Amino acid sequence: MNNSEPDTTPTADSPASDPDTRRSPALIAVAVALPVALVVGIVVAAVLANRNPTLDPVALGTVPAPAATSAECTALIDAVPDRLGDFERAELVDPAPDGAAAWQSVDAQEIVLRCGLDRPAEFDAASALQVVNGVQWFEVPGDEGFDASTWFAVDRGVYVALTVPHGLGPTPLQDASDALAGALEAKPIDPAPLPAVTPTPGS
């Protein structure tokens, strides 16, 4: 009588030796990692898309700007940066006016620069000026209901206007000043004279 245990050594034909039924740890790790990586990639792409949305080109109307095609304005438009603060340089709708540039934020606010304008009517010898990074600016508040101010650089060979939404802080004006100072030479200011005072009878 043979009491020996049966031979359980796997043979070439047994399921334990079938390559299709064996899974290495590396293969299992890859199988788990691929779906995770795919999900992470989708999430990252969505976050980046939200940070960098596609904004429509900016449409700018025409305004009187007799020096917009001057060499000074051409040099300035070539020198303005791609960013003003958190605003990115925007594409302009054709036909774009000469001497103009615009920047947009992610919430579609706009900063607009125009070069070669006439001297602002409000700028006279009594006007208060603000010097920012070596450039003298004159502020013209927006009309009621218009949440922005227009700043005129008044000490260059051409007048340059920068319309900036309220609440952005000084950075956009500082960045624009750096571009102006680098592209255009400073000139003496030329404000309008003060209105003549008409004497009242009996004075």
Q: Where in the chain are the domains?
A: 15-51, 71-183
pLDDT, position 119: 97
pLDDT at 5 over 90: no
Who wins on pLDDT, 186 or 44?
Answer: 186
Closest to 82 measured CA to CA, from 180, 181, 179: 179
Fold held by 71-183: Protein Transport Mog1p; Chain A (3.40.1000)
pLDDT, position 70: 98
Closest to 173 measured CA to CA, from 64, 67, 81, 62: 81
pLDDT, position 100: 98
The arithmetic mean of pLDDT across residues 144-156, rounded, is 91
